Amino acid sequence: MCFHYQNGELRAEEVSIKKIAEQVGTPFYCYSTEKLTRNFDAYRRALADENATICYSVKANPNLSVVAALARLGGGADVVSAGEMYVALKAGIPADKIVFSGVGKTREELAEAIKMNILQINAESEAELELINRLAVEQGKKANVALRVNPDVDALTHVKITTGKKENKFGVAWEEALSLYRRAAQMEGVRIAGIAVHIGSQLLDVEPFRLAFTKIASMVQELEKEGIEISNIDLGGGMGINYNVELPPTCAAYAQVVKETLGHLNKHIIVEPGRSIVGNAGILVTEVVYNKTNGEKNFIIVDAGMNDLIRPALYDAWHTILPVTKHGTAPIIADIVGPICESGDVFAHARIIEPTQAGELLAIMCAGAYGAAMSSIYNFRPLVPEVMVRGGEFAVVRKRTSYEEMLSGHAVAPWL
């Protein structure tokens, strides 16, 4: 176990969480190198019989050390901004293993991607395709382009993270994709590299994948009948993890669906896992500030807030919360809340948990994905440190932001 108890104390691999807190302060994120490696290797083993590239979805967690760890395992990157592309390149991922997705790529971002000759730009609209063509012609190049096709498949996930239905903003409408590919084939600055699909996040069933991939296979066959060659099939990400009592599919089950639906096409497969690589490889450690009772309701007030981990406030997401030191005392029912001036700053409602004392530590589990990546300085609270553990050692891989750094880009207007 990468996060486990030893003599009643929570550890990350071989390092005491309490020891990290004493040296770094709270709150802080902690990532396990071993768990990142295991999760990546699960995909690599499952897809070993396919011609596949695992492009980590950087948006899940863009920490430079996290991305570098995956780069050293042979991973590529799925990016959705020039900033994420910069991180991927800095982490050691070569341009020919980078896929650029997203509905709102700017002229500057696309120009940079074309200049870098990345593996593939996933165009999500006719207007974007036309802009890519113009920019590539200006550079005297052909851009490697795929169309992200919206298959109108329900991912059976949270409404805010489903991306493959026709009412979602993502991708080219299914009924328009074929004609847009025909146009792309005639464009001077475009080399058709592949086709892309991504139907959502935190999927707990492989059947939506099967439906989407089957539709994509039929589209590839239609295109190739017309002489439009497809080299890459980008399947996006979406595999879920166990936050509470979920039973997500295994990488082997996912790979079997890939083989059954697309194996006969003999194409290069791109997968873009994010949450399933880093989600359970990270925790958020926070200190109890106060215990409070309002009537019959118990509150445990901690020093982490929704600015550090917004998922519970944004999605009503469940995160298991554990004491860093177990006392074995009879549990109570309490809300675990942060210090932010918002009623929604709640990590857990009516949670069964051991009573705590001020100064004790809690660990918010499975916080490696969409945790630090979505953090903010709301209430002018500093971004918290991120720590990476390997075996018996740890390193601060992003330091806590100081107030001076937070104000470094500010200026007082000259008339004040």
Q: Is 27 annotated as a binding residue?
A: no
Q: How many CB atoms lie within 10 A of CB 360?
A: 18
Any domain includes 177: yes
38: annotated binding-site residue? no
Q: Which of 226, 256, 275 marks a domain boundary?
A: 275
Q: Is 55 a catalytic residue?
A: no
SS3 at position 178: helix
Confidence label for 161 from pLDDT (cuts 50, 70 and 90): very low
Q: Is 342 annotated as a binding residue?
A: yes
What number is the average pLDDT over the span 25-50? 98
Domain boundary among 275, 290, 317: 275
- Give me the mean pLDDT over the 119-124 stretch: 97
Q: Tell me, yes or no, whether 234 and 342 share the same domain.
A: no
pLDDT at 168: 55
Regarding whether 166 and 51 lie in a shared domain, the answer is: yes
Residue 274 marked as a ligand binder: yes
Residue 333: CATH number of its domain: 2.40.37.10
* In-domain check, residue 414: no
Q: pLDDT band at 164, cuts 50/70/90? A: very low
Segment 375-403 mean pLDDT: 98
Quick one: CA torsion of 354, 357, 358, 359, rounded to 10 degrees?
-80
Structure confidence at residue 175 as a pLDDT band (50, 70, 90): confident
Residue 124 known to bind ligand? no
Q: What are 291-301's pLDDT values in tens digits?
A: 999 988 999 99
Instruction: Report if residue 293 sits inside a domain.
Output: yes
Q: Return the pLDDT at 170.
A: 62
Boundaries of domain holding 313 = 3-31+279-406
Separation between Cα atoms, residue 78 and residue 277, nearest integer Å? 13
The reply, when asked if residue 148 is annotated as ligand binding, is no
Under the banding of pLDDT at 50, 70 and 90, the label for residue 97 is: very high
232 in any annotated domain? yes
- What gap in Å lies between CA 183 and CA 242, rounded to an integer? 43
Q: Which of 275, 300, 317 is the last residue of a domain?
A: 275
Same domain, 335 and 251: no
Q: What is the DSSP letter of 385?
A: P
Per-residue model confidence (pLDDT) at position 186: 96
Which is the catalytic residue, given 30, 251, 341, 366? 341
Please give the average per-residue pLDDT across 297-310, as a whole number. Answer: 98
Q: What is the pTM of this model?
A: 0.94
Residue 390 within a domain = yes
Is the pLDDT reported for residue 153 higher than 70? Answer: no
